Chain A
Amino acid sequence: MLQVKNLTKIYDGGVKALNNVTFDAPKGQFLAVIGLSGSGKSTLLRCINRLIDPTEGQILWNGEDITAANPEEMRRIRRKIGMVFQHFNLVHRSKVLTNVLAGRLGYVNPAWSLLNRFPKEDMAKALQQLERVGIADKANQRADELSGGQQQRVGIARALMQDPEIILADEPVASLDPVLAHSIMKHLEEINKKDGVTVLCSLHFLDLVHRYADRVIALNEGKLVFEGLPSEIDDKKFKDIYGRDAERVG
């Protein structure tokens, strides 16, 4: 159970990226976050694993306040929060396997991981995750030799290595074509439904939201402007979320 309470983020330049956002994400839910570019979706997701420190407000995760955690506690909390990025954020020059194993860094002893040593179980687990996303044969290739869709699968495998209880997906399909988008979303859906992992996913396309999300929250200029079922987004709500000039596509 993730509870976000009165979350506000003001950047150094004075930009208010999040303005008093409050919502809950029950365990096992597929929650979509929608909104225009610059509406605060990425900031919101990054506040949850504290890649960005929020200015005010609380984030409670299973009752523990993430915003008050010290660095050591944060390491423990982060390893249960997987993250998938729009630009995949793989380490290009490393092997696919190394990229996936990196998901285990929060668990392994820092001293050993400095020597690039991972326990045998982790190696097996990494191959298993690559198998799960269908690219086990690429394990020993360099990450930048893979296509965009394959790279995102590596990103998902890396998140899965963390044994996550929640996955934050920051526009995971925005830089992929529609066919690939669905295959990636299906992986996320499967992880959500089979493993019971909560997924918090920011999305651009409403048809993807309708197809995959259990619930939707919408941000506009940092404010929460909608919270409800995907089917509840009618034309009026749509204009509230995306502005008056917006038109529905797809």
Chain B
Amino acid sequence: MKEPNKNEKKSSPWKSLGTGLAVLAGLIVYAYGFQITKIDLEQLRSERRQESLVRVTRALAQPDIFEYEQVAEAFTAPVYVTCPADGGIVEAPDTSGPYVTVTPSCAEPGEMVTVEGFKFVPNSSGPVRFVPGSDPTNVVELGNDTATTDADGSFAVAIKLPKRPSDEVQFIRVTMRRNVGTPQFTQTARDTWNKIIETVFLALLATTLGTILAIPLSFIAARNLMKSVRSPLTSISLSLLGWPLGIAVGYLLVSWVGTLSAPFAENIPVNVLFVVLTPILASLGLRWALPEEETSKPNKTTQILRLIVLFITVLVAFYGLFQLAHLAINVGLLGIAGLGSLAFLGNFLFQLGDIIAITTPVLGGLATGSALSSFLGRTGQRASERLAPSAIRLLNILFATLAGATLFGLFGWLVEWLYQIGQSVYVLWGPLIVGGLLGLVIALITKPKDTLSTGMVIYYVTRTILNGLRSVEALVMAIVFVIAVGIGPFAGVMALGLHTIVSLAKLYSEQVESIQPGPLEAIQATGANRLQTIIYAVIPQIVPPYISYTMYRWDINVRMSTIIGFVGGGGIGFLLQQNINLLNYRAASAQMLAIAIVVASMDYISSMLREKYV
């Protein structure tokens, strides 16, 4: 059989026609595009626009960065308006320094005289004015002429004498401005510097905060890690119940610990003592309660004892955290008062202490919530393994109904808070009953020993939230945060940080999904649990892409932080927008230059770091 030659293509008239039509269609699309985007070169040709364009371009080309300090020196030369009887004889000027002459030295009002200057600084300029009255220091000036010296420092200007006839001698004053000393930064340059530093740190904080929070999120948004997570319904409903209960109990408990630490709040030595003591106590407790290695199963009493010790240890640790917060606040206050120009270090400590003090109860709540939820979940798991199917079904019906009601009840509470409906049928009883029924139905249709893929549910929920938040531009988020925390860089940090969390979590999770499955399998085969598998098999594999994505995000954040100021989020954008609105293009140009330099050097640094660590 003869193989058909692939290069041999038949050219048919239909094909040519098709190509022609495609080109025509393309042309039409572009023609419409021109219409829509209002492309009109006529505008460009109009003289007024060209003038403005030239002006703005020239201003942009001269960023307002350096300036010289200028001194103005005034020189006067006598002149008679209406020539006196003696013909207007004037004294010869002192020619040792710069001097000005007027020729002729007398003339009628409205006549032209020539003002000449010698021995001035070359290439400087200044106004030439007529000073009426016989006092050369009179502040009143007439005229509108300018003198510009040539390369030799001389000038000659013809000016018209005003209608101020007088018998006495009057004066022509030349005020020459000249630059003295070395060039200095302008106020604009200094403002730009301050704001660009703010911008860089805004981006830095947003990126760091975002990265830290995005990493754990990225694991639960990774399909390959979540797919195998399955648990029986008893376990799911119990752990769902555990979350809100644990958060509430934990928050109250840790807040109570906080009130215990309040009496020693002001005393720095006591703070230090506790900050040193509690970690030691906590680590001792941890070491006892969590032995490094265990080959045999401990008995019940030991287990319970360990749990109690662990509980006390955690409380001690939280007490230590509160003391740490007090210590940081106290030392920070001292620092603010006494460190002078380094007071920002004190402020940092103070704010850090404040952050710890505010977040500790929340942390405690979350920790207790997760602990209680996992404990209850495990209990549910065990129960569903050991009990008879009918008993499990009964438990499932009970707990699933409760969990559903709790979940929907909380949701209803949120709705009430957001929309203030105020009708308990819709926001309390309705959700409770619907949630309970839903739980009941799920409990009835699942077979007692079946496992449900909790992992995928969490995966989809996380993904949906991430995608939803990611589609909100950081600029829009900034507007919300400006309302929440006020105009300034803090709002910008929050907005950029939130946006960084959601977009990095997505990018990261895609990296987690593309890791090699082999090491994962190998680590699982050693008997490692899920968290250990992540630490030992997943994390080493994702370090390089994580670093490069974080760098990339930093880059984006630097660029974003330059415009987040447009909506009040701090950074250089505020200045830039202000100057553009004021038509102060030279200042705007300085800010644009600063942005360009920062973005370019960021790019350079990040590529350097990437090369080094990836």
| B518 neighbours in A (Cβ, 8 Å) | 85, 87-89
Tell yes or no: A92 within 8 A of B by CB: yes
CA distance A110 to B519 in the complex (A): 18
Within 8 A of B (CB), among A161-214: 161-162, 168
Q: Tell me which of B19-27, B184-192, B290-298 binds A.
A: B290-298
Report how far A107 CA is from B508 CA in the complex, Å.
30
Interface-centre pick from B518, B521, B528, B535 (highest chain A CB count, 10 A): B528
Closest to A120 in B: B292
Say if the beta carbon of A62 comes within 8 Å of chain B. no
Q: Are B293 and A108 in contact (CB under 8 A)?
A: yes
Contact A109 B535 (CB under 8 A): no
- Which one of B286, B291, B382, B522 has the greatest number of beta carbons of chain A within 10 Å? B522
Contact between B526 and A51, CB atoms less than 8 A apart: no
Q: Give the residues in chain A near B382, CB-CB below 8 Å.
A: 70
Residues 14-41 of A, flagged 1 when their CB comes within 8 A of B and 0 if not, give 0000000000000000000000000000
Contact flag A158-B532 (CB < 8 Å), given A107-B294, A108-B292, A112-B290 = no
Q: Which of A112, A122, A161 has the most CB atoms of chain B within a 10 A radius of its CB?
A: A112
Which chain A residues border B532 with CB–CB below 8 Å? 105, 110, 113-114
- Are A91 and B540 in contact, with the CB atoms below 8 A? yes
Interface of B is mostly: helix
CB-CB nearest in chain B for A83: B525
B523 is an interface residue with CB less than 8 A from chain A: yes
Shortest C-beta distance, B307 to chain A (Å), equals 14
Residues of chain B from 530 to 560 with CB closer than 8 A to chain A in the complex: 531-532, 535-537, 540-541, 543-544
Interface positions, chain A 54-111, Cβ under 8 Å from B, are: 70-71, 74-79, 81-83, 85, 87-94, 98, 102-111
A105 and B528 contact, CB distance less than 8 A: yes
Cβ-Cβ contact count across A and B, 8 Å cutoff:
110
Identify the B interface with A (CB < 8 A): 286, 290-295, 381-382, 385, 518-519, 521-529, 531-532, 535-537, 540-541, 543-544
Name the CB-closest residue of B to A164.
Answer: B526
Q: Can you name 14 A-B pairs with beta carbons within 8 Å?
A: A75-B528, A79-B526, A91-B537, A92-B540, A98-B536, A102-B523, A104-B293, A105-B532, A106-B526, A109-B291, A113-B535, A113-B536, A116-B535, A168-B525
Find chain B residues with CB under 8 A from A98 CB.
536
**Shortest CB distance A140–B (Å):** 15
In contact, A90 and B522 (Cβ under 8 angstroms): yes
Q: How far is the CB of B285 from chain A (nearest CB, A)?
A: 12
A112-134 vs B, CB cutoff 8 Å, 1 = contact: the mask equals 11101111011000000000000
Q: Is the CB of A105 within 8 A of B526?
A: yes
A89-B529 contact, Cβ under 8 Å, with A113-B535, A122-B293? no
Q: How far is the CB of B55 from chain A (nearest CB, A)?
A: 57
